[in-house]
Amino acid sequence: MAVYADEINRRRTFAIISHPDAGKTTLTEKFLLYGGAINLAGSVKGKATARHAVSDWMEIEKERGISVTSSVLQFEYGGFCINILDTPGHQDFSEDTYRTLMAADSAVMVIDASKGVEAQTRKLFKVCVMRKIPIFTFINKMDRDANDTFELLDEIEKELGIATCPVNWPIGSGKGFKGVYDRNKNVVLTFSDTEKGTKEGETTEVPVDDKGKLAEIIGTDAADKLLDEIELLDGASAEFDLEAVRSGDLTPVFFGSALTNFGVEDFLKHFLEMTTTPLPRKADIGVIDPVENNFSAFVFKIQANMNKAHRDRIAFMRICSGKFEASMEVKHVQGDKVMRLSQPQQIMADERKILDEAYAGDIIGVFDPGIFSIGDTICMPKEKFCYEGIPTFAPEHFARVRQIDTMKRKQFVKGITQIAQEGAIQIFQELSTGMEEIIVGVVGVLQFDVLKYRLENEYNVEIRLEPLPYEHIRWIENKDEINMDKLVGTSDMKKIQDLKGNPLLLFINSWSVGMTLDRNKGLVLSEFGRN
C-alpha cells in the first residue's frame, strides 16, 4: 500500500477553463513544453503550415482554430505526475466542459488581461463553485495592453464572488511589460523575451529592496509605481490561506503571458505546491478514499473515431481510488458484468500509449465496444457501488435530421448514435415513427456544424438539418404512472422519446409547460435527465 500511496500522492489532476480566446490552449502547450512532453509548442491559430496545438486534434478544431472537445494530456514535472484536462472555451461546447470538471480535482481559470471576466468564465466558474473545486487564476496576455490590475482583481471578486490573493504582481503591460514581482520572495523577476514555441529565455531576480538595481533594470518610473502598488497591495488584498483555497473560497492570482512564457513556469511551480492530491469521491455507499480503497473509476467522456483507421470508441475514465493493472478483472456496475478493460491507454490528445498500470488521479482511455455510458462506475468484482451521476443538460436548440442518400441508412444511424453516446448531442425520436424521424438537440448551435462535419468526414454520410422552433424540453419524472396516449398537451407541444425509450416533451413557449402540468394532474416534469 505504501508504494502506491506515494504514487497517488504525487498525482495532480486539473482542468483548464476560460472564455474562448483567453489563451487557455496556449498555456496548456507551455506546461507540456516545461514538462518535456513536447519540444515545440504549437499555435492554435495561424497559417495552414503552422503547427497546431497538441490538445486540438480534431480536423474541425484545426480548421476553425477553436477547441470543440476536451482533451486529456499527461506529463511529468518536478516529481509530479500531472493530468491536464483541456476543455473547450466556446459556450456551445460547455456541456463537455461540465462533464470534464467532474473528473478534475481543481481548475485553472485563464482570464484575458484586456477583457477581464467574460460570459463563459462566469458560467464555468459557477460549475466549479457547485462542486467546491479549488480555483487558480492566471491572468494572461500581459504582453498586450491590459486593464488596471486592481480593477481586474476587483472584477473577479465582484463578478464571481470569490476572494483574490495575488501571488505575483505585473510590472506594466503591453510593450511596457517588464516582468512580475514575487510577493513571497520579495523579488522582481524580469524575463528576456523568448522565441515563440520554445522555453529558452533568461530570468533575472532583483531584490525589491535594492532600489538602485531595480531602477536600473525596469526604469525609475516603473520602479516607483511598483513600490507604491506593493504598499497598496499589502494593505488591501486577502491574506493567503491554503485551506480557503482548497475549499474554493479564495483564488490565488498569477499574472503572465503564455505566448512569451512570462511567468508560466513560476505559476506552474506555485500551483503544484498549492493544489491537492487526488480527492475522495462521493458514492452511494459513502465517500471513497483514493488511497484506502481498492481500484474504482467512472466514465466521464466517450469519444468515437479518435483513430480514423480503426473507427474505434474510447471511454475516458477518471481513476478515483487504488491502483489499476491492465490484466485485472473489474466490474462494470451498470452492466453488472465482470470484465477486463480492453487496451487501457494513456492519452496525449489523439496519441496513445498502452498502459500496464495507473493510479487514482490518472485519466485512462479504454476501448469501448458500445457498453459504456457517461457516468458509469467501474470497481473491483466483489464490490458494488455507484459514483454520483453526471447531469445531462437540457438542449436549447433542436433540428430534424434528414439523410440525403437514403441508401446509407445504416451508416447514418450508426454515426448519429455513436456521436450521441459521446454526450455532445442528444437524439430523440418521435413516439410514433421511431428511428425514421430523428430529432437532434444541442446546447449550442455550433454543435450542429460539428455533427454535420463529423457525419460527412467520419461516416461518409451527408445530412440536411431542418431547424425546429422548440426551445424547452422536459423529462417525465414519473413516466411509469403516465399514459402518454392520454396526455393532454398544448398546440405547441411535441411528444418524443430518447434513445433509452424515456418519454419527453418539447415546447415552443415556456408558459405551455405550466399549462400542460395544470391539465395533467400528477404529472412531474424535470429540466434535467440523468446519465
144-160 tens-digit pLDDT? 898 999 999 999 999 88
User: Using one digit for the tens of pLDDT, what is the confidence trace for 172-225?
Assistant: 888 888 888 999 889 988 876 554 445 555 677 888 888 888 888 888 898 899
Query: 477 near 524, Cβ under 8 Å?
Result: yes
Q: Is 173 exposed, middle or buried (0-12, 13-18, 19+ CB in 10 A)?
A: buried
Mean pLDDT of 11-15: 93
Mean pLDDT of 519-528: 86
Q: Which residues of 326-365 are buried (b: 16+ CB within 10 A; e: fewer)?
A: beeebbbbbeeeeeebeebbbbbbbebeebeebbbbbbbb
Mean pLDDT of 260-287: 90
CATH topology of domain 13-70+87-274: Rossmann fold (3.40.50)
User: Using one digit for the tens of pLDDT, what is the confidence trace for 84-110?
Assistant: 887 654 454 456 667 788 889 999 999
Mean pLDDT of 477-485: 86
Query: 89 near 21, Cβ under 8 Å?
Result: yes
DSSP 184: T
281-379 is a CATH 3.40.50.800 domain: no
pLDDT at 52 over 50: no
User: Using one digit for the tens of pLDDT, what is the confidence trace for 388-446?
Assistant: 877 666 788 899 999 898 888 899 988 888 888 777 788 998 876 555 679 999 877 87
Residue 54 binned pLDDT confidence (cut-offs 50, 70, 90): very low
Adjacent-strand bridge partners of 465: 401
Q: Where are the domains of the chain?
A: 13-70+87-274, 281-379, 391-530
pLDDT at 35 over 80: no
- What's the pLDDT at 136? 95
* Length of the chain as a residue count: 531
pLDDT at 296 over 80: yes
Calpha distance 414→42 (Å, rounded): 34
Q: Give how far Cα 3 sits from Cα of 10, 11, 322, 323, Å.
A: 11, 13, 11, 10
pLDDT at 346 over 60: yes
Q: Which of the following CATH numbers is that of domain 391-530: 3.40.50.2300, 3.40.50.300, 3.30.70.3280, 3.90.79.10?
A: 3.30.70.3280
Position 432, amino acid = S
pLDDT at 484 over 90: no
Alpha-helix residue ranges (DSSP H) falling in 161-275: 211-218, 220-236, 242-246, 264-274
The closest alpha carbon to 445, from 425, 418, 419, 475, belongs to 425
pLDDT at 267 over 70: yes
Position 99, amino acid = R
- What's the pLDDT at 336? 93
Helix, strand, coil percentages for the chain (3-state, nearest 5): 30, 30, 40
User: Using one digit for the tens of pLDDT, what is the confidence trace for 248-258?
Assistant: 899 999 999 98
Minimum mean pLDDT among 130-134, 200-204, 520-524: which range?
A: 200-204
Calpha distance 3→26 (Å, rounded): 35
- What's the pLDDT at 391? 65
Share of residues in the chain with pLDDT > 90 (%): 36
Calpha distance 47→43 (Å, rounded): 10
Calpha distance 444→233 (Å, rounded): 41
Query: 86 near 29, Cβ under 8 Å?
Result: no
DSSP 312: -
- What's the pLDDT at 469? 94
User: Using one digit for the tens of pLDDT, what is the confidence trace for 368-386?
Assistant: 887 888 889 999 999 999 9
Spell out the residues 6+ positions from residue 486 whose beta carbon is closer than 8 angstroms to its own. none
Mean pLDDT of 283-300: 94
Mean pLDDT of 279-299: 94
Share of residues in the chain with pLDDT > 70 (%): 83
pLDDT at 59 over 90: no
Adjacent-strand bridge partners of 434: 430
Q: Is 205 helix (H, G, I), strand (E, B) or coil?
A: strand
For the chain, what is the mean pLDDT?
82
Q: 3-state secondary structure string, 277-309?
A: CCCCEEECCEEECCCCCCCEEEEEEEEECCCCC
Spell out the residues 6+ positions from residue 477 whose beta carbon is closer than 8 angstroms to its own. 524, 525, 526
- What's the pLDDT at 105? 94
Residue 36 binned pLDDT confidence (cut-offs 50, 70, 90): confident
